[in-house]
Amino acid sequence: MVADAELLDEESFQKNELHVEPAGDICLSVRNLNVWYSDFLALNDVSINIPAREITALIGPSGCGKSTFLRSINRMNDLIPSARTSGEIWLDGENVADPNTDVVRLRKNVGMVFQRPNPFPKSIFDNVAYGPRIHGVNDRRELAMIVEKSLKRAAIWDEVKDDLHKSAFDLSGGQQQRLCIARALAVEPKVLLMDEPASALDPISTLKIEELMHELKNEITIVIVTHNMQQAARVSGYTGFFLMGELIEFGRSTDIFTTPRDKRTEDYVTGRFG
Amino acid sequence: MDIRHSFDEELQQMKQDILKMGSVVEEMLAGAVKALRERDKNLADEIIAKDDIVDEYNLNIEQTCLRLLALQQPMARDLRTIAAALYIIKDVERMGDYALDIAKAAKKLADFDPITQLVRIPKIAEIVQKMLRDSLRAYVDHSVEVISEIAQEDDQVDTLYRQVRDGMIALIMDNPQVATQAVELILVARYLERIADHITNIGERIAYMETGQLRELH
């Protein structure tokens, strides 16, 4: 999962002393990423190395660009007609920001979970089997195995194993969100993007999602956008702080939340921003 | 707009309480050494009674810190300030105990004839009181400048302590009859020297609070 360093334009990657280099393997290498919505520059020259098999949290006030950044990774911004992107996002030796990238294949490798659970109006089984079917798995037994494995990985199997053919809408909000995680995991992504995955959930469901993330991080790379600073501190190994489209500081979460180096990061994490 | 106004007020209040706690210990220290020098048992008793005030501050400030940690979920500088407070009150509380020990020694020594004129012990006490005042003021003001001064004063205290100890050993060797008083005075000097060590701990905590780096001062 290491980005191909030789392909990277390292000279244009300005070393920023507020951006710490992750200790282990790198999963995603982003270089000089800019995103415009019409004339508005939503992301301004963001460069970052996102560690593999770790949880990276992105924090910052509303409109800071953190969700735009997240959506750039699996090209969700393509769905916004006014959005325009420049720069590079390297995943497995491929610049996924390149217009020629196969977006369907990209989204198999980079799954996404949204703020509000969005199960399809289908059974629990069919929700999880949806992705594998699209990618050509039709064998019933194989599908059943994938569904069971994915639901187990999403820590919801025990709650739904006897009701797999019930509608996904019969589940609680927290269960629906874990089902959506299972659906994302069913195609074995390398990266899981989570955009405020617990902000619509009660505290217990939130903790279940966080615990699940903790277990998943041994296998996949997770990037989470959250407004909940305590959540970012609890779940992530690394944190990036965005402000007005810029990545101000990136480092180990322990450092960001105890001894941030930039005054703006300090003001934001201590709640004195405004 | 100050969006954490009530939290900031509580932090300020907590810092003021630490200053008050420190000033009680400073009074105890000054009073205990005065009681020793003037052989004043009543004053020593007054000092001993003040230890309860210090203990109460210790408990109240600790509870405030825990409440702020639980309810305000402080981060970064706020977190370091509260973490430092939890350490500092333990150091100040311990200094109060040492001042109490000195007051007890003063009561005990008042029953004996004086064996020497006290010069160095009041000098150590004077330095230590200044160190305490400066260190707590530095905590409240988030100032790291006085920390190196505190380290130097701690060295001065160590030297004076050794001089007291050696002087007392010489007195005992001259006249073993004075051993009880001399040993008591070595202990008093030792208590003061320990207080200075606790103050350097406070200096280390202030340095951590301000820089995020933990380093030993002594």
Mean predicted lDDT score pLDDT of chain A: 93
Mean predicted lDDT score pLDDT of chain B: 94
Q: Is residue B185 part of a domain?
A: yes
Tally of domains within chain B = 1
Q: Is residue B216 part of a domain?
A: no
Q: Is B76 in Cβ contact with A270 (below 8 Å)?
A: yes
Measured between beta carbons, the chain B residues lying within 8 angstroms of A274 are 1, 3
How many angstroms away from the CA of A266 is the closest CA of chain B? 6
Q: From the list B4, B7, B76, which residue is nearest A257 (CB)? A: B76
How many angstroms away from the CA of A115 is the closest CA of chain B? 24
Measured between beta carbons, the chain B residues lying within 8 angstroms of A203 are none
Q: d(Cα A87, Cα A71) in Å, to the nearest integer?
A: 14
Q: With beta carbons less than 8 A apart as the criterion, state whether A30 and A48 touch.
A: yes
Q: Angle at the Cα of A170 (from A166 to A171), degrees rounded to 5? A: 105
Q: With beta carbons less than 8 A apart as the criterion, state whether A164 and A123 touch.
A: yes
> Is residue A11 pLDDT above 80, yes or no?
no
A56 residue type, one letter: T
Nearest to A113 by CA among A22, A226, A31: A226
Check if A232 contacts B (Cβ < 8 Å): no
> Is residue A204 pLDDT above 60, yes or no?
yes
> Is residue A6 pLDDT above 80, yes or no?
no
Per-residue exposure over B55-79, b if at least 16 CB sit within 10 Å of its own CB, e if not: eebbeebeebbeebeeebebbbbbb
pLDDT of res. A1: 42
Fold that domain A5-269 belongs to in CATH: Rossmann fold (3.40.50)
Neighbours of A107 (CB within 10 A): 19
Domain extent for B53: 5-211
Give every CB contact of residue B206 below 8 A, 6+ residues apart in sequence: B84, B135, B138, B139, B142, B143, B144, B147
How many angstroms away from the CA of A222 is the closest CA of chain B? 23
Q: What is the CATH number of the domain that holds B198?
A: 1.20.58.220
B52 residue type, one letter: D
For residue B88, CA distances in Å to A104, B73, B82, B85 come to 58, 20, 10, 5
Check if A100 contacts B (Cβ < 8 Å): no
Q: Is residue B217 part of a domain?
A: no
Minimum CA–CA partner of A260 in chain B: B76
Tokens of A180: 């959506």
> Is residue A219 pLDDT above 90, yes or no?
yes
pLDDT of res. A2: 45
Q: Is residue B205 part of a domain?
A: yes
> Is residue A194 pLDDT above 50, yes or no?
yes
Q: Please name the helix (run of DSSP H) or strand (run of DSSP E) that holds residue B143, with its range, or none.
A: none
Residue with tokens 């200096």: B203
- The interface predicted TM-score of the complex, written ipTM, equals 0.77
Tokens of B217: 């001062």
> Is residue A8 pLDDT above 60, yes or no?
no
Q: Is residue B218 part of a domain?
A: no
Q: Please name the helix (run of DSSP H) or strand (run of DSSP E) that holds residue B78, with its range, or none.
A: helix B76-109
| Rounded (10°) angle between helices B146-174 and B179-211 | 170
- Per-residue pLDDT tens digits for A48-86: 999 999 999 999 999 999 999 999 999 999 999 999 999
- Per-residue pLDDT tens digits for B143-165: 888 888 999 999 999 999 999 99
* Helix (H), strand (E), coil (C) string for chain A: CCCCHHHCCHHHCCCCCCECCCCCCEEEEEEEEEEEECCEEEEEEEEEEEECCCEEEEECCCCCCHHHHHHHHCCHHHHCCCEEEEEEEEECCEECCCCCCCHHHHHHHEEEECCCCCCCCCEHHHHHHHHHHHCCCCCHHHHHHHHHHHHHHCCCHHHHCCCCCCEHHHCCHHHHHHHHHHHHHCCCCCEEEEECCCCCCCHHHHHHHHHHHHHHCCCCEEEEECCCHHHHHHHCCEEEEEECCEEEEEEEHHHHHHCCCCHHHHHHHCCCCC
- Per-residue pLDDT tens digits for A99-155: 999 999 999 999 999 999 999 999 999 999 999 999 999 999 999 999 999 999 999
Q: Is residue B118 part of a domain?
A: yes
> Is residue A3 pLDDT above 50, yes or no?
no
Category of A75 on φ-ψ map: left (φ > 0), alpha (ψ -120 to 50) or beta: left
Nearest to A242 by CA among A46, A32, A28, A13: A46
